[in-house]
């Protein structure tokens, strides 16, 4: 089995190659969209298929097997994360059900109802708080340690991607605001992550803000709009720092590598790109040319790999091998 040789950088990311695929082909008559996440040690990888295929699967990458370690048919699964220690997995459904699972055995450990529907979610870096949004107007922060609602806000707009800053100070949500007699207007809300107090709001020359992501240092935020732009914003004022062209018509998922030098962006097509944060250049792109499929692209915490969900339900892992680096 091929393994990446060193952390990805703007100098080596252009030499990314497919090192490994996970899972077996899963035929589906529906469009397919995968949500992927690593555990903190880069040993485990989870896939949530929001459309098509098995809803919840995860792998132990220390095994040579391509079959998942565990597969579960969780109805309406929206997202999942490995909790600190990598012994438990947290999943959330569109009905607002939070479930924890044994990573090794796949056994259901607990189930909690948050009391409302969920369209997007983000787990805090320490695994103790969960930011949840509903498409039409609701934002809440759930305290996982106490299993209670820390704060809740009602915001009359269509909610899309959400994010928590690494230090927990800020919570951000991308929106589309309704306007009388016209198309929606893209906007962004920034809340105090601890109290839920609205700190700042920002609008863009677009119809929707699809996704938001904080830099690893937590000193800036990037928003992906439907106009095909990635807008880098200062904190907490949300002033524009610079604008970078996004892939296709706009990025639905964004993620920085641990060093903050690379940004992976996934549009609503069968593709992902890796961008140099310094100058906005596209260093690498990949597509399997299936318009009915999409996936998040996620860097491993050790910074050596990037994963992406493929058109047949499999998951690919890309990296830079020693031979490829020596040829560059």
Position 231 scores a pLDDT of: 95
Residues 48-69: what's their mean pLDDT? 91
Position 267 scores a pLDDT of: 80
User: Does CATH place domain 33-285 in 2.30.29.30?
Assistant: no
Q: What is the largest CA-CA distance in the chain?
A: 59
Position 271 scores a pLDDT of: 86
Residues 8-28: what's their mean pLDDT? 90
Residues 290-303: what's their mean pLDDT? 85
Dihedral-angle region of residue 278 (phi above 0 means left; psi in -120 to 50 means alpha; beta otherwise)? alpha
Position 251 scores a pLDDT of: 73
Position 7 scores a pLDDT of: 87
CA nearest 22: which of 59, 77, 76, 75?
A: 59
Exposed / middle / buried, residue 228 (Cβ in 10 Å: 0-12, 13-18, 19+) = middle
Encoding tokens for residue 223?
Answer: 């928003």
Position 25 scores a pLDDT of: 84
Residues 55-61: what's their mean pLDDT? 96
d(CA 47, CA 36): 5
Q: What is the dihedral of CA 221, 95, 268, 309, to 10 degrees?
A: 100
- Whose tokens are 């200062």? That residue is 234
pLDDT band at 32 (very low <50, low <70, confident <90, very high): confident
pLDDT band at 209 (very low <50, low <70, confident <90, very high): very high
Encoding tokens for residue 278?
Answer: 């310094």
Encoding tokens for residue 296?
Answer: 């998040």
d(CA 65, CA 67): 5
pLDDT band at 328 (very low <50, low <70, confident <90, very high): very low
Residues 61-80: what's their mean pLDDT? 94
CB 162 within 8 A of CB 173: yes
1: DSSP letter: -
Name, in order, each residue with C-beta under 8 angstroms of 327's C-beta and a sequence gap of 6 or more: 15
Backbone angles phi, psi at 326, to 5 degrees: -70, -20
Position 6 scores a pLDDT of: 79
CA nearest 273: which of 303, 314, 306?
A: 306
For the chain, the residue count is 328
Q: Which residue has the higher pLDDT, 102 or 30?
A: 102
Exposed / middle / buried, residue 64 (Cβ in 10 Å: 0-12, 13-18, 19+) = exposed
d(CA 238, CA 221): 8
Position 262 scores a pLDDT of: 97
Give me the percent of the chain exceeding a pLDDT of 90.
76
Residues 91-119: what's their mean pLDDT? 95
Residues 195-210: what's their mean pLDDT? 94
Residues 1-23: what's their mean pLDDT? 85
pLDDT at 123 over 50: yes
Name, in order, each residue with C-beta under 8 angstroms of 92's C-beta and a sequence gap of 6 or more: 77, 78, 79, 80, 98, 99, 118, 121, 130, 132
The overall average pLDDT reported for the chain is 90
pLDDT at 237 over 60: yes
Position 235 scores a pLDDT of: 96
pLDDT at 192 over 60: yes
Angle at CA of residue 299, ends 249 and 276, nearest 5°: 60
């Amino acid at each position: 089995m091929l393994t990446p040789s060193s952390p990805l950088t703007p100098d080596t990311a252009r030499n990314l190659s497919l090192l490994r695929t996970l899972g077996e082909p899963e035929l589906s008559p529906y469009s397919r969209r995968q949500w992927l996440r690593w555990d903190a040690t880069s040993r485990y990888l989870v896939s949530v298929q929001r459309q098509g295929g098995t809803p919840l699967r995860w792998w132990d990458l220390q095994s040579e097997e391509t079959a998942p370690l565990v597969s579960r048919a969780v109805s309406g699964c929206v997202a999942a994360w490995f909790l600190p220690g990598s012994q438990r997995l947290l999943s959330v459904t569109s009905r607002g059900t939070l479930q924890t699972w044994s990573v090794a055995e796949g056994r259901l450990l607990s189930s909690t109802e948050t009391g409302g529907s969920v369209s997007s979610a983000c787990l805090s870096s320490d695994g103790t708080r969960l930011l949840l949004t509903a498409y039409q107007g609701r934002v809440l922060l759930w305290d996982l340690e106490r299993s209670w609602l820390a704060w809740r806000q009602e915001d009359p707009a269509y909610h899309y991607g959400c994010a928590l800053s690494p230090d927990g100070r800020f919570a951000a949500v991308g929106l589309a605001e309704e306007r009388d007699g016209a198309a929606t207007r893209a906007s962004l809300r920034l809340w105090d992550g601890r109290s839920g107090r609205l700190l700042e709001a920002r609008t863009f020359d677009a119809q929707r803000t699809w996704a938001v992501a904080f830099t690893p240092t937590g000193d800036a935020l990037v928003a992906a709009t439907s106009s095909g732009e990635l807008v880098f914003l200062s904190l907490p004022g949300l002033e524009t720092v610079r604008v970078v062209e996004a892939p296709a018509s706009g990025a639905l998922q964004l993620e920085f590598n641990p060093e903050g030098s690379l940004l992976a962006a996934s549009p609503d097509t069968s593709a992902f790109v890796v961008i140099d944060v310094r100058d906005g250049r596209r260093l690498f792109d990949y597509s399997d040319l299936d318009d009915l499929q999409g996936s998040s692209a996620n860097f491993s915490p050790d910074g050596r790999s990037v994963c992406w969900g493929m058109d047949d339900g499999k998951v690919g892992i890309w990296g830079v091998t020693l031979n490829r680096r020596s040829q560059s």
